[in-house]
Protein backbone atom coordinates (compact mmCIF):
# COMPACT_ATOMS: atom_id res chain seq x y z
CA UNK A 1 0.00 0.00 0.00
CA UNK A 2 1.44 3.39 -0.89
CA UNK A 3 2.56 5.69 1.91
CA UNK A 4 -0.31 7.30 3.76
CA UNK A 5 -2.96 4.90 2.52
CA UNK A 6 -2.79 2.22 5.23
CA UNK A 7 -4.82 4.42 7.56
CA UNK A 8 -7.39 4.89 4.80
CA UNK A 9 -7.73 1.13 4.34
CA UNK A 10 -8.09 0.71 8.10
CA UNK A 11 -10.79 3.39 8.20
CA UNK A 12 -12.68 1.69 5.36
CA UNK A 13 -12.56 -1.70 7.07
CA UNK A 14 -13.77 -0.17 10.35
CA UNK A 15 -16.69 1.58 8.63
CA UNK A 16 -18.32 -1.55 7.17
CA UNK A 17 -20.31 -3.99 9.28
CA UNK A 18 -18.99 -6.99 7.35
CA UNK A 19 -15.34 -6.08 8.00
CA UNK A 20 -15.32 -4.03 11.21
CA UNK A 21 -14.41 -7.05 13.37
CA UNK A 22 -11.33 -8.01 11.33
CA UNK A 23 -8.21 -7.44 13.44
CA UNK A 24 -5.74 -5.31 11.49
CA UNK A 25 -1.99 -5.68 11.99
CA UNK A 26 -0.04 -2.99 10.16
CA UNK A 27 3.25 -4.05 8.60
CA UNK A 28 5.41 -1.15 7.50
CA UNK A 29 8.91 -0.48 6.34
CA UNK A 30 8.62 3.11 7.53
CA UNK A 31 9.80 4.32 10.89
CA UNK A 32 6.91 5.86 12.80
CA UNK A 33 7.00 8.25 15.68
CA UNK A 34 4.92 7.61 18.78
CA UNK A 35 2.17 10.01 17.65
CA UNK A 36 1.66 8.20 14.33
CA UNK A 37 1.58 4.81 16.06
CA UNK A 38 -0.90 6.12 18.62
CA UNK A 39 -3.10 7.54 15.86
CA UNK A 40 -3.25 4.21 14.02
CA UNK A 41 -3.92 2.27 17.22
CA UNK A 42 -6.66 4.70 18.20
CA UNK A 43 -8.11 4.34 14.71
CA UNK A 44 -8.43 0.59 15.31
CA UNK A 45 -5.19 -1.12 14.36
CA UNK A 46 -4.44 -3.98 16.75
CA UNK A 47 -0.67 -3.90 16.35
CA UNK A 48 2.06 -2.22 14.30
CA UNK A 49 5.09 -4.23 13.21
CA UNK A 50 8.09 -2.51 11.64
CA UNK A 51 10.01 -4.34 8.89
CA UNK A 52 12.28 -6.20 8.98
CA UNK A 53 10.53 -8.49 11.40
CA UNK A 54 11.05 -12.05 12.49
CA UNK A 55 8.57 -14.62 11.20
CA UNK A 56 7.83 -15.65 14.79
CA UNK A 57 6.87 -12.06 15.66
CA UNK A 58 4.31 -11.89 12.85
CA UNK A 59 2.90 -15.35 13.56
CA UNK A 60 2.58 -14.53 17.25
CA UNK A 61 0.71 -11.30 16.48
CA UNK A 62 -1.67 -13.09 14.11
CA UNK A 63 -2.32 -15.86 16.61
CA UNK A 64 -2.87 -13.40 19.46
CA UNK A 65 -5.39 -11.28 17.59
CA UNK A 66 -7.26 -14.16 15.96
CA UNK A 67 -7.84 -15.76 19.35
CA UNK A 68 -9.63 -12.59 20.47
CA UNK A 69 -12.35 -12.72 17.80
Over the stretch 5-54, which tens digit does the pLDDT of each residue have? 778 889 889 999 999 999 999 998 888 899 999 999 999 999 999 999 99
Bond prior to 68 in cis (omega within 30° of 0): no
Rounded to whole angstroms, how far apart are CA atoms 47 and 28? 11
- Per-residue pLDDT, 3: 52
Q: DSSP assignment of 8-43, as one string?
A: HHHHHHHHSTTTTTS--EEEESS---HHHHHHHHHH
Rounded to whole angstroms, how far apart are CA atoms 55 and 34? 24
Amino acid sequence: IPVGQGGDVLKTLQSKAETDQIPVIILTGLEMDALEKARLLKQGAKQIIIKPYKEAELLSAIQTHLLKI
